[in-house]
Amino acid sequence: MPKIAIILGSTRPGRNGEAVAKWVLDIAKQRSDAEFELVDIADFKLPHLDEAIPPAAGQYSQPHTFPWAEKIGSFDGYVFVTPEYNHSTSGALKNAIDFLFAEWNDKAAGFVSYGSAGGTRAVEHLRLVMAELKVATVRAQVALSLMTDFKNFSEFTPAEYHVAEVTTLLDQVVSWSNALTTVRTAA
């Protein structure tokens, strides 16, 4: 059974992403086709990327990188919960992603985004980053609007139809995570 991380991609005080990530996890835990775990990048307290050797070399030297690498490497797929800041993802999420390379390779990812335009521009940027890391991104995504899915832009009140969108997203991430097992085994 694949292990899927739901990665909370914001470290901002008062962040909306925590409620979104927990909502996705609650929906995911109703399934029996994968194990799901919430991974909060804030828990890892990663500084600005400070590894001297590019992550693709796999020669990590900083003590904070090792637990992050071990955690990310333990999963078969990912669901990124990302805000949209200035037409992109959060700097904290991009930084956390950039710390690693091989741990991401040959896995699947999906996206749940939120922002004034549903966070869709953040996802477009993340799709480019994931391609470089050899991550297969699924087509389905969930775009949550600060205007309609959050009361006063801060209290998460998702429309009911988003549950079906999350289910489709999880279906695809689990399916692709299973399919890529052969690729990961061969590597």
With a pLDDT cut of 70, the percent of the chain lying above it is 100
Question: What is the reported pLDDT for 26?
Answer: 98
Q: Is it the case that residue 187 has pLDDT exceeding 90?
A: no
What mean pLDDT comes out for the span 27-33? 98
How many angstroms separate the most distant Cα atoms in the chain?
Answer: 49
What are the residues whose beta carbons fall under 8 Å from the beta carbon of 186, sequence distance 6 or more? none
**Domain housing 13:** 3-186
Total domains present in the chain = 1
pLDDT over 90 (residue 186): no
Residue 98's CATH number:
3.40.50.360
DSSP letter (8 states) at residue 58: -
CB 88 within 8 A of CB 122: yes
Residue 139: exposure state from Cβ atoms within 10 A (0-12, 13-18, ≥19): exposed
Pairing of strands 135-145, 150-151: unpaired
pLDDT at residue 104, as a whole number: 98
- pTM for the predicted model, two decimal places: 0.97
CA distance 114 to 94: 16
**Six-digit token pair at 59?**
């020669």
Question: Does position 170 have pLDDT exceeding 90, yes or no?
Answer: yes
Residue-wise pLDDT for 132-161, tens only, equals: 999 999 999 999 999 999 999 999 999 999
